[in-house]
Amino acid sequence: MHSGNICIGGFMCSGKTSVGRELSRRLGWEFLDTDTVIEQRAGMPVPRIFAELGEPVFRRFEFEVVSEAVGGSNRVVSLGGGALVNTELRNRVLANACLVILDVRAETVLCRAERQKGARPLLDSGTVHSLMAKRTSAYAACHLRVATDEFPVNAVADRILANIPLTGTLTGTDTIRAAAETLCVPA
Protein backbone atom coordinates (compact mmCIF):
# COMPACT_ATOMS: atom_id res chain seq x y z
CA MET A 1 0.00 0.00 0.00
CA HIS A 2 1.23 3.50 -0.84
CA SER A 3 2.70 4.96 2.32
CA GLY A 4 2.38 8.61 1.30
CA ASN A 5 -0.59 10.86 0.89
CA ILE A 6 -3.12 11.76 -1.74
CA CYS A 7 -3.73 15.49 -2.31
CA ILE A 8 -6.76 16.69 -4.21
CA GLY A 9 -6.29 20.04 -5.97
CA GLY A 10 -8.12 22.05 -8.59
CA PHE A 11 -10.34 25.06 -9.03
CA MET A 12 -13.07 26.06 -6.59
CA CYS A 13 -16.23 23.94 -6.86
CA SER A 14 -14.46 21.05 -8.58
CA GLY A 15 -15.57 18.70 -5.79
CA LYS A 16 -12.27 18.39 -3.92
CA THR A 17 -13.79 17.98 -0.46
CA SER A 18 -16.46 15.46 -1.48
CA VAL A 19 -14.04 13.37 -3.54
CA GLY A 20 -11.36 13.55 -0.83
CA ARG A 21 -13.81 12.41 1.83
CA GLU A 22 -14.96 9.51 -0.35
CA LEU A 23 -11.37 8.41 -1.04
CA SER A 24 -10.49 8.52 2.65
CA ARG A 25 -13.55 6.42 3.46
CA ARG A 26 -12.63 3.80 0.88
CA LEU A 27 -8.93 3.67 1.81
CA GLY A 28 -9.42 3.98 5.56
CA TRP A 29 -6.99 6.91 5.52
CA GLU A 30 -7.29 10.10 7.56
CA PHE A 31 -9.10 12.95 5.79
CA LEU A 32 -8.03 16.57 6.05
CA ASP A 33 -9.68 19.54 4.38
CA THR A 34 -7.10 22.30 4.66
CA ASP A 35 -9.67 25.13 4.60
CA THR A 36 -11.40 23.54 7.60
CA VAL A 37 -8.10 23.29 9.49
CA ILE A 38 -7.34 26.95 8.64
CA GLU A 39 -10.78 27.98 9.94
CA GLN A 40 -10.17 26.09 13.20
CA ARG A 41 -6.75 27.67 13.59
CA ALA A 42 -7.94 31.20 12.80
CA GLY A 43 -11.13 30.79 14.82
CA MET A 44 -13.26 32.16 12.00
CA PRO A 45 -14.65 31.07 8.61
CA VAL A 46 -12.67 31.67 5.39
CA PRO A 47 -14.78 34.64 4.17
CA ARG A 48 -14.12 36.41 7.48
CA ILE A 49 -10.39 35.68 7.31
CA PHE A 50 -10.33 37.35 3.88
CA ALA A 51 -12.49 40.30 5.02
CA GLU A 52 -10.89 40.98 8.40
CA LEU A 53 -7.30 39.75 8.10
CA GLY A 54 -6.79 39.89 4.32
CA GLU A 55 -5.80 37.34 1.69
CA PRO A 56 -2.03 37.41 2.49
CA VAL A 57 -2.79 36.26 6.05
CA PHE A 58 -5.04 33.51 4.68
CA ARG A 59 -2.22 32.41 2.36
CA ARG A 60 0.22 32.25 5.30
CA PHE A 61 -2.18 30.02 7.23
CA GLU A 62 -2.62 27.93 4.08
CA PHE A 63 1.14 27.49 3.60
CA GLU A 64 1.54 26.32 7.18
CA VAL A 65 -1.48 24.00 7.22
CA VAL A 66 -0.81 22.36 3.83
CA SER A 67 2.88 21.83 4.69
CA GLU A 68 1.90 20.13 7.95
CA ALA A 69 -0.79 18.05 6.26
CA VAL A 70 1.57 16.53 3.67
CA GLY A 71 4.17 15.98 6.38
CA GLY A 72 2.14 13.03 7.66
CA SER A 73 1.33 9.80 5.87
CA ASN A 74 -1.69 7.84 4.72
CA ARG A 75 -3.77 10.97 4.50
CA VAL A 76 -6.19 12.23 1.91
CA VAL A 77 -5.83 16.03 1.83
CA SER A 78 -8.25 18.33 0.03
CA LEU A 79 -6.56 21.62 -0.82
CA GLY A 80 -8.09 25.06 -1.30
CA GLY A 81 -8.20 26.09 -4.95
CA GLY A 82 -5.37 28.62 -4.56
CA ALA A 83 -2.90 26.50 -2.59
CA LEU A 84 -0.94 25.33 -5.63
CA VAL A 85 -0.31 28.87 -6.89
CA ASN A 86 2.59 29.15 -4.44
CA THR A 87 5.48 27.37 -6.19
CA GLU A 88 7.23 26.34 -2.98
CA LEU A 89 4.04 24.88 -1.54
CA ARG A 90 3.23 23.14 -4.84
CA ASN A 91 6.68 21.51 -4.81
CA ARG A 92 6.14 20.33 -1.23
CA VAL A 93 2.84 18.76 -2.24
CA LEU A 94 4.37 17.10 -5.32
CA ALA A 95 7.25 15.74 -3.25
CA ASN A 96 5.09 14.31 -0.46
CA ALA A 97 1.84 13.22 -2.05
CA CYS A 98 0.25 11.84 -5.12
CA LEU A 99 -1.41 14.98 -6.51
CA VAL A 100 -4.74 14.57 -8.25
CA ILE A 101 -6.19 17.58 -10.06
CA LEU A 102 -9.93 17.69 -10.52
CA ASP A 103 -10.78 19.51 -13.72
CA VAL A 104 -13.96 21.53 -13.95
CA ARG A 105 -15.41 23.87 -16.58
CA ALA A 106 -16.15 27.51 -15.75
CA GLU A 107 -19.85 26.98 -16.51
CA THR A 108 -19.99 24.15 -13.97
CA VAL A 109 -18.24 26.32 -11.36
CA LEU A 110 -20.75 29.13 -11.87
CA CYS A 111 -23.65 26.73 -11.57
CA ARG A 112 -22.30 25.05 -8.40
CA ALA A 113 -21.25 28.37 -6.82
CA GLU A 114 -24.76 29.72 -7.22
CA ARG A 115 -25.88 27.15 -4.66
CA GLN A 116 -23.23 28.19 -2.12
CA LYS A 117 -23.24 31.97 -2.34
CA GLY A 118 -20.97 33.85 0.07
CA ALA A 119 -18.74 30.87 0.82
CA ARG A 120 -15.90 31.82 -1.55
CA PRO A 121 -14.54 35.36 -1.43
CA LEU A 122 -12.71 35.05 -4.76
CA LEU A 123 -15.66 33.75 -6.68
CA ASP A 124 -18.08 35.95 -8.51
CA SER A 125 -19.38 35.66 -12.02
CA GLY A 126 -16.97 38.31 -13.35
CA THR A 127 -13.80 36.55 -12.28
CA VAL A 128 -14.22 32.82 -12.85
CA HIS A 129 -12.91 32.69 -16.44
CA SER A 130 -9.94 35.00 -15.82
CA LEU A 131 -8.99 33.41 -12.50
CA MET A 132 -9.19 29.98 -14.11
CA ALA A 133 -6.90 31.10 -16.93
CA LYS A 134 -4.40 32.47 -14.38
CA ARG A 135 -4.42 29.17 -12.49
CA THR A 136 -3.60 26.96 -15.49
CA SER A 137 0.11 26.73 -14.70
CA ALA A 138 -0.56 26.08 -10.99
CA TYR A 139 -2.57 22.98 -11.92
CA ALA A 140 -0.28 21.77 -14.73
CA ALA A 141 2.00 19.46 -12.71
CA CYS A 142 0.22 16.52 -11.17
CA HIS A 143 0.14 12.74 -11.11
CA LEU A 144 -3.40 12.40 -12.33
CA ARG A 145 -5.97 14.70 -13.90
CA VAL A 146 -9.62 13.78 -13.77
CA ALA A 147 -12.61 15.48 -15.38
CA THR A 148 -15.47 16.04 -12.97
CA ASP A 149 -18.21 17.99 -14.74
CA GLU A 150 -20.52 15.15 -15.74
CA PHE A 151 -19.45 12.68 -13.09
CA PRO A 152 -20.76 11.96 -9.62
CA VAL A 153 -18.35 11.78 -6.67
CA ASN A 154 -18.29 7.97 -6.73
CA ALA A 155 -17.28 7.81 -10.39
CA VAL A 156 -14.47 10.34 -9.85
CA ALA A 157 -13.22 8.33 -6.85
CA ASP A 158 -13.36 5.09 -8.93
CA ARG A 159 -11.28 6.70 -11.66
CA ILE A 160 -8.70 7.99 -9.17
CA LEU A 161 -8.29 4.68 -7.39
CA ALA A 162 -7.98 2.86 -10.72
CA ASN A 163 -5.15 5.12 -11.85
CA ILE A 164 -2.96 6.17 -8.97
CA PRO A 165 -0.02 4.09 -7.81
CA LEU A 166 -1.21 2.65 -4.52
CA THR A 167 1.72 0.31 -4.22
CA GLY A 168 5.25 1.51 -3.56
CA THR A 169 6.22 4.93 -2.34
CA LEU A 170 6.53 8.09 -4.35
CA THR A 171 9.63 9.96 -3.29
CA GLY A 172 11.61 12.76 -4.86
CA THR A 173 10.78 14.99 -7.77
CA ASP A 174 12.31 12.66 -10.39
CA THR A 175 9.87 9.91 -9.51
CA ILE A 176 7.12 12.45 -9.35
CA ARG A 177 7.97 13.83 -12.81
CA ALA A 178 8.13 10.34 -14.28
CA ALA A 179 4.85 9.47 -12.65
CA ALA A 180 3.31 12.69 -13.91
CA GLU A 181 4.33 11.87 -17.47
CA THR A 182 2.84 8.42 -17.38
CA LEU A 183 -0.20 9.13 -15.28
CA CYS A 184 -1.49 12.52 -16.46
CA VAL A 185 -4.41 11.68 -18.65
CA PRO A 186 -6.38 14.24 -20.64
CA ALA A 187 -9.55 15.45 -18.95
Least CB distance to ligand S3P at residue 1 (A): 27
**Per rule CB under 6 A, is residue 82 in the interface with ligand S3P?**
yes
Radius of gyration of the chain (CA): 16
Beta-carbon-side half-sphere exposure of residue 53 (alpha carbons within 13 Å):
17
Q: Indicate the residue among 160 and 179 with the shorter CB distance to ligand S3P.
A: 160
Rounded to 5 degrees, what are φ and ψ at 184? Answer: -65, 115
36 CB-near residues (< 8 Å, 6+ apart): none
Q: What is the dihedral of CA 63, 108, 51, 135, to 10 degrees?
A: 40
**Per rule CB under 6 A, is residue 20 in the interface with ligand S3P?**
no
**Per rule CB under 6 A, is residue 81 in the interface with ligand S3P?**
yes
Rounded to 5 degrees, what are φ and ψ at 73? Answer: -145, 165
Least CB distance to ligand S3P at residue 12 (A): 4
Contact map string, positions 101 to 120, toward ligand S3P, x by CB under 6 A:
-------------------x
Q: Facing residues of 133 across strands? A: none
Q: Which stretch binds ligand S3P (CB under 6 A): 78-86, 98-106, 154-162, 163-171?
A: 78-86
**Which chain residues interact with ligand S3P by CB under 6 A?**
12, 16, 35, 46, 80-82, 120-122
